[in-house]
Amino acid sequence: MEFSEAPSLDSFNSGGLVKQAFQEGVRRYLQYYRACILSLKPNLTLLGLSLQLKGIVAQMRYLGRLCKCHSEESFPTGVQLLSYLHAVAIDSVSSPHHGVMLFLFRKSCQPYLRFLEDWVFYGTFNDAYKEFMIEINPIYLNYRDKMFWTRAFVMSLNADGSSAVPVFLADLANSIYVCGKSINLLKLCQQNHYLFTKRQTVPRLDVCFTEEELVAMETECSVYISKVKALGHQQMQLREERKAAAAAARRELIQKVRVTAAMETARLEEM
């Protein structure tokens, strides 16, 4: 029943955004189930009803096992839920229920992907449920030495010492961590950097299941990289032009000083 109920107004302790996204996926599937039931012809025999509902009833049983409805084991939340769904999705590749599993997995990943977008592109995140892999040490945010880099932002760890990230992102965990830290350091050193003053539309991260989806995301990322590089090149040219203009103005000033000095020297010699 937990997964079919609508979110309550007081949902802060409901297991986090990842679990809420999973619950929303389950609710959407149950809406499809109800639609299938309501579309049945009223004059079906028991045999006809059994044949019509055979596939969807099997999916409902599969969903019940996935949600651990008849298990004493607690249902995972946060990154543990994503790792659990990932493992089940891999194991169900040859299952007729694989499509349902992929739908629920993609739906559940959305909150975590939004965390990733905020962190890797902007160095920020809003993690009220402590689901993301980064923790902030407020004490060190005001430090202006290496302590800011090493301790202001730290990677969350599991009880076994491993990074608190979904298993399918384990190889990228450190790169993700350093990326957001670097952006925060850049903000500290140069708040008016073009990455912050001239923001581009960032690629939307998503779970890709087909080659077409992957190519589309790679294209979007390539376009973003090209725009940022072009903006960087433009800013470099402007900086070089300003330096050249400042150097020309300095040379002109020096020339004027020399001319003035020569005229003054000549005047004094005539006296």
- The verdict on residue 194 lying in a domain is yes
- Say if residue 233 is in the same domain as residue 192: no
Domain termination residue (choose one: 172, 201, 230): 201
Contacts of 55 (CB under 8 A, 6+ apart): 96
- Say if residue 45 is in the same domain as residue 175: yes
* Residue range(s) defining the domain that contains residue 26: 17-201
Distance CA 6, CA 76 (A): 19
Residuewise pLDDT in 10s, the chain (271 residues): 455 555 543 444 568 999 999 999 999 999 999 998 899 888 888 888 888 889 899 999 999 999 999 888 889 999 999 999 999 999 999 999 999 999 999 999 999 999 999 999 999 988 989 899 999 999 999 999 999 999 999 998 776 666 689 999 999 999 999 999 999 999 999 999 988 888 888 999 999 999 999 999 999 999 999 999 999 999 899 989 999 999 999 999 999 989 888 888 887 777 6
Domain total of the chain: 2
- Say if residue 252 is in the same domain as residue 147: no
Element (H or E) spanning 4, and its range? none
pLDDT reported for residue 265: 84
pLDDT reported for residue 180: 96
- Say if residue 197 is in the same domain as residue 212: no
- Say if residue 158 is in the same domain as residue 26: yes
- Say if residue 24 is in the same domain as residue 70: yes
pLDDT reported for residue 262: 84
CA distances for 230 relative to 16, 68, 216, angstroms:
39, 51, 21
- Say if residue 174 is in the same domain as residue 218: no
- Say if residue 262 is in the same domain as residue 222: yes
pLDDT reported for residue 42: 86
- Say if residue 154 is in the same domain as residue 269: no
The one-letter amino acid code at 146 reads K
pTM of the model: 0.83
Q: Which long-range contacts (CB under 8 A, 24 or more apart) does 36-41 make?
A: none
164: closest CA among 67, 76, 233? 76
Domain termination residue (choose one: 156, 180, 201): 201
For 135, the 3-state DSSP assignment is strand
